[in-house]
Structure 1
């Protein structure tokens, strides 16, 4: 069952530091100051450099059907609904040859949290909430059910084992936990 639901319409919207897009922040911890983890949707409006975030691990999931290529030492063409992890302190730029795209971003401060991001597309899956961790379900497209119905870009935090039904959509399941050790 969901502990909390954040509707995309209620997200905090802000321009990127370097321009070229906007971010819709859905959740972060802590609420003020530097984040230990953060979940957001980015609107990439043009080719350009990503903001460099030293000490931050990032996972990006392309949600829109348009193409996006990340330019790192080895360019990577992102696949829709497929998570891609990278070091936020790296020099990264992107091209969006089909025009603006939207993607889901998971950021964790190194040493504070680690994130696992899995996707469920057109199916249902059991989700076990780990002890000492937090689990969120993000609707990447269509509708997703997890004790409540989520529309595209809505987010729910889960508080116990549940089933995520993405029969009519696509979901990203994010688990935050303290680092091992």
Structure 2
């Protein structure tokens, strides 16, 4: 068993198109052009609008202890380490009442890939790797051990069943499955 580990320090960092934050891209497919899927960490530095991404499904997981509220148009307070899925084409404004936050983002091109994002907080979990999917483990906080060793905001792509030990942290497990053609 081997792991493709992407350290947060090696992420590609870019400012948001509309300002107000930066993104640290950890992984994407394909590497160039429009992505079919993308995994990243966003630093939300101030209140403002999210970029609209038509045809993209998004899952966001708040990693910081500070509050983040998405206005869709109804206020949707995010809970730390709890995945929230939404249509990337929706007009969304965000407020960060406690100041800057960081969150983990999973974006998939609708009709091409679908993402299942679950979290493991203060516990151990066996992670299966289906033959028809790509599976990633992201360290949202603290340190992960077990089959893979990750620090905060590091990412690992799994190629076989493994144990994720988040006893001293929090992890997001991402399963990306291709949509059938037709």
Into which bin does the TM-score normalised by the smaller protein fall? over 0.9
Question: Whose strand fraction is larger, Structure 1's or Structure 2's?
Answer: 2
Q: Which secondary structure does the structure 1 equivalent of 2:167 belong to?
A: coil
Question: Matches of residues 43-54 of structure 1 in structure 2 within 5 Å?
Answer: 43-54=43-54
**Do 2:68 and 2:96's aligned partners in 1 also have CA atoms closer than 8 Å?**
yes
In structure 1, runs of 5+ residues without a counterpart are: none
- Quote the offset at 1:148 in angstroms: 2.8
Q: For the residues of structure 2 that align with 1:71 and 1:164, how far apart are their CA atoms? A: 33
Q: For the residues of structure 1 that align with 2:109 and 2:146, how far apart are their CA atoms? A: 28
Q: Which secondary structure does the structure 1 equivalent of 2:43 belong to?
A: strand
Deviations 1:102-121 (A, max 9, x none): 00000000011000000000
Runs of 4+ displaced beyond 3 Å: none
The change in CA–CA distance for 1:84 and 1:45 in structure 2 (over 3 A counts) is: same
User: Please, which moves more after superposition, 133-142 or 144-153?
Assistant: 144-153
Q: For the residues of structure 2 that align with 1:2 and 1:98, how far apart are their CA atoms? A: 40
Q: For the residues of structure 1 that align with 2:2 and 2:136, how far apart are their CA atoms? A: 9
**Do 1:2 and 1:147's aligned partners in 2 also have CA atoms closer than 8 Å?**
no
With normalisation by structure 2, the TM-score equals 0.97
Q: For the residues of structure 1 that align with 2:88 and 2:75, how far apart are their CA atoms? A: 16
